[in-house]
Structure 1
């Protein structure tokens, strides 16, 4: 059975509908101000930030930190997983 992940926080569910129905604590607009967003890449052993290349073993740990090369400016956004 496939797993589906949120691009913003790494939450894992077994269906897209259950993932996108819930609020995301790491949504770019703020906690509780938007829903989870489906990560459209495949499951991997390492996830890399599409802005700076930082690599971690999970989407959750990747998106927990600020990215120095985020398009909004250094420290103004989180790492985002590359597909």
Structure 2
């Protein structure tokens, strides 16, 4: 069985439809201002931020922290996982 993850917050779901039907607490527009976005990369043993290279063991732990090199500004947005 495959797992599907939100790119913004790392929430895990057994189906894409269940994941994308729910609001995301880390959506870029604000908490619960949009739906989860499907992370389209594969499951990995660790995940890297596409802006600064920070590594974390899970998407949820990566996206839970602010990125010092994010295009929105230093620490103004969370890390984003590479595909």
Normalised-by-shorter TM-score class: over 0.9
Q: Deviations over 1:26-69 (max 9, x none)?
A: 00111110000000000000000000000000000000111000
How many pairs align? 83
- Distance in 1, matches of 2:28 and 2:58, equals 19
Q: Return the TM-score normalized by structure 1.
A: 0.98
Q: What residue ranges of structure 2 are gaps of 5+ in the alignment?
A: none
- Distance in 2, matches of 1:52 and 1:24, equals 23
C-alpha RMSD of the superposition: 0.4
Aligned to 1:17, the other structure's residue is in SS state: helix
Q: What residue ranges of structure 1 are gaps of 5+ in the alignment?
A: none
